[in-house]
C-alpha cells in the first residue's frame, strides 16, 4: 500500500513537473531579431540645439520604441572632416538608416553615400537636392516663415531696430534675408502712423548677416547687435543660434535684476532682448516671442508609412497617390519631402509671453499666413 502511494505521488510530481516545464517553454523569450540600427550624425550643436537635431533624435527614439529600429546610435560632430569620420564609424556598425542633420555635412554625406550605393541614408535640413539616389531628404521652405518673422519682429520691437542672421552654409540663406526685409517693409507700410518705423539692422562686422556656425560667433553677434539697440533678433543656424539665445537669456536676466535693484522707480525700464526662434517651440527661453517650427515628425511620417503615426491632424501623413516602394528594407512613400506652410511641414506661432503683450500677435501671424497662401502677398516678386 505504501509503495503504491509512493508511486502515485511520484507520478503526480512528474506530471506537475511536466506541466511546469511546458509552461516555461510557452513563456520562454523569443530569440532577438536581426539588429536594425538607426544612426544619426549632427553638426555642430549636436542634438541639444532646440532645433532639427533635437527633433530628429526624438523621432528616432520614438521609432525605436515602436520597433522600427532595434536601437539608435547618435554622434555630434564639429565639421565636415568629422562628419566623414563619423559616417565611416557608422558604416562599421551596419546601420540600417544613417541620418545626417544640417547643411554642415551635406557634401560629406553625398560623397559617402555615392561610395556606398547599397546603403540607405537620410539628409535632414541639408539644403541641397544634389544627392545620390540612395539618399532620402527632408527639407523645409523657410522663405514664407522668414517673411512672417520679419513682420513679427518689427511688431515686437520697442527700439525700432530688428535683425536677422544666418549661419554659413544655411539653406536658402540669401532668400531668407530678403524675405525678412520684405516682412519688415510690409510692417512699416501697414503700421499705425504713431508707431515707429522699424529698420533691419546690418552691423559693421557682419554686414552680410552671415556668421560662422559656432556659439562664440552667435554670442558676439548678439552683443554687437544689442549694443546698437537691436532688441529683436532672428537667428537661423545651429550652434550660432544657440549662442544667440544663450547670450540673450543672460542679458535679459541682468537687465531685470538691475531694474529690480534700481532706486529710481520713475526711470524707464530698458528694452529687453527678444527672439524669433527657428526650431522647437520656444518655451525653453523667456526671450522667445515666436517660433518657426520645422515639422520633422510630419516629414518622417510622410516618408516612412511604417513610422509611428499620430491622431494629431498636424502630424498625420497625407495620403499617397502612389504605393510605397521598398528601399533598403524600408517602405518609402516619399523620397524627397519638402515641408511648407501649405502642407503643414512648417509653422510659425507666437509664444504666450508675446501674446500677452501684443493682443493681436497671433491673429497677425495667422492673417499673414493666409494672405501668402491666397496669393495676396506674392513672395516671388
pLDDT tens digits along 26-47: 333 343 356 799 999 997 777 8
Phi-psi region of 280 (alpha: psi -120 to 50; beta: other; left: phi over 0): beta
Residue where the block lists cell 511536466: 18
Q: 248 with 234: CB under 8 angstroms?
A: no
Q: How many CA atoms lie within 13 A of 176 on its CB side?
A: 27
Q: What sign results for the dihedral spanned by CA atoms 121, 96, 331, 67? A: negative
Q: Would you state the pLDDT for residue 281?
A: 86
For residues 104-136, one letter each, b for 16 or more C-beta atoms within 10 angstroms of the residue's C-beta and e for the rest, the string is bbbbbbbebbeebeebbbbbbbbbbeebeeebb
CA 261, chain centre distance (Å)? 38
pLDDT band at 2 (very low <50, low <70, confident <90, very high): very low
Rounded distance between C-alpha atoms, residue 309 and residue 325, angstroms? 18
Please state which architecture CATH assigns to domain 143-293+351-374: 3-Layer(aba) Sandwich (3.40)
CA dist., res. 142 & res. 347, Å (int): 10
CATH code assigned to 37-140+297-339: 3.40.50.2300
**Residues 262, 276 contacting (CB under 8 angstroms):** no
Alpha helix positions (H), the chain? 2-27, 52-65, 80-92, 106-115, 143-156, 173-190, 215-227, 239-261, 296-303, 352-357, 361-374
| Cβ contact 77:86 at 8 Å | yes
| Backbone angle region of 264, left / alpha / beta, with phi > 0 → left and psi within -120 to 50 → alpha | beta
The predicted pLDDT at position 5 comes to: 42
Domain boundaries, the chain: 37-140+297-339, 143-293+351-374
- Contact predicate 149/292, CB 8 Å: yes
Could you tell me how many residues make up the chain? Answer: 381
Instruction: Note the pLDDT of residue 325.
Output: 93
Determine what percent of the chain is predicted with pLDDT higher than 90.
66
Classify residue 283 by its DSSP letter.
Answer: G
Question: What DSSP character marks residue 32?
Answer: P
Mean pLDDT of 68-93: 89
DSSP 105: G
Q: How confident is the model at residue 265 (pLDDT cuts 50, 70, 90)?
A: low
Residue 14: band (very low, low, confident or very high) from pLDDT cuts 50, 70, 90: very low
Q: How far is CA 214 from CA 96, 160, 243, in A?
A: 31, 28, 7
Same fold, 37-140+297-339 and 143-293+351-374: yes
pLDDT per position as a tens digit, 328-375: 899 999 999 999 999 999 999 988 766 556 656 778 899 999 999 999
Would you state the pLDDT for residue 368?
94
The confidence score (pLDDT) of residue 24 equals: 35
**Does 18 score more than 50 pLDDT?**
no
SS3 category, 79: coil
Please name which of 74, 4, 63, 70 lies closest in space to residue 34, comparing C-alpha atoms: 70
Amino acid at each position: 500500500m505504501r509503495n503504491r502511494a509512493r508511486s502515485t505521488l511520484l507520478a503526480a510530481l512528474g506530471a506537475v513537473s511536466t506541466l511546469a516545464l511546458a509552461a516555461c517553454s510557452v513563456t520562454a523569450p523569443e530569440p532577438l531579431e536581426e539588429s536594425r540600427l538607426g544612426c544619426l550624425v549632427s553638426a555642430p550643436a549636436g542634438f541639444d540645439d532646440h532645433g532639427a537635431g533635437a527633433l530628429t533624435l526624438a523621432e528616432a527614439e520614438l521609432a525605436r520604441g515602436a520597433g522600427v529600429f532595434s536601437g539608435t546610435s547618435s554622434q555630434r560632430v564639429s565639421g565636415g572632416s568629422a562628419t566623414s569620420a563619423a559616417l565611416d564609424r557608422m558604416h562599421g556598425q551596419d546601420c540600417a538608416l544613417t541620418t545626417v542633420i544640417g547643411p554642415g555635412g551635406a557634401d560629406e554625406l553625398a560623397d559617402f553615400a555615392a561610395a556606398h550605393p547599397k546603403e540607405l541614408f537620410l539628409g535632414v535640413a541639408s539644403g541641397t537636392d544634389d544627392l545620390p539616389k540612395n539618399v532620402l531628404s527632408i527639407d523645409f521652405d523657410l522663405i514664407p516663415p522668414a517673411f512672417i518673422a520679419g513682420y513679427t519682429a518689427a511688431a515686437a520691437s520697442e527700439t525700432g531696430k530688428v535683425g536677422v542672421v544666418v549661419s554659413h552654409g544655411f539653406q536658402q540663406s540669401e532668400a531668407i534675408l530678403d524675405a525678412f526685409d520684405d516682412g519688415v517693409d510690409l510692417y512699416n507700410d501697414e503700421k499705425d502712423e504713431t508707431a515707429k518705423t522699424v529698420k533691419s539692422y546690418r552691423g559693421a562686422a557682419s554686414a552680410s548677416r552671415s556668421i560662422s556656425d559656432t556659439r562664440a560667433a552667435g554670442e558676439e553677434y548678439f552683443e554687437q547687435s544689442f549694443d546698437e539697440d537691436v532688441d529683436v533678433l532672428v537667428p537661423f543656424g545651429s550652434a550660432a543660434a544657440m549662442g544667440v539665445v544663450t547670450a540673450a537669456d543672460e542679458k535679459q536676466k541682468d537687465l531685470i535684476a538691475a531694474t529690480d535693484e534700481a532706486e529710481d522707480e520713475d526711470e524707464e525700464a530698458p528694452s529687453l532682448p527678444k527672439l524669433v526662434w527657428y526650431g522647437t517651440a520656444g518655451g525653453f527661453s523667456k526671450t522667445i516671442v515666436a517660433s518657426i517650427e520645422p515639422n520633422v515628425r510630419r516629414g518622417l511620417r510622410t516618408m516612412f508609412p511604417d513610422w509611428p503615426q499620430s491622431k494629431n491632424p498636424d502630424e498625420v501623413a497625407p495620403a499617397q497617390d502612389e504605393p510605397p516602394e521598398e528601399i533598403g528594407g524600408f517602405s518609402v512613400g516619399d523620397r524627397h519631402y519638402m515641408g511648407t506652410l501649405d502642407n503643414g511641414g512648417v509653422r510659425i506661432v507666437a509664444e504666450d509671453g508675446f501674446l500677452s503683450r501684443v493682443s493681436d500677435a497671433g491673429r497677425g501671424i495667422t492673417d499673414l499666413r493666409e494672405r501668402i497662401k491666397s496669393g495676396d502677398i506674392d513672395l516671388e516678386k
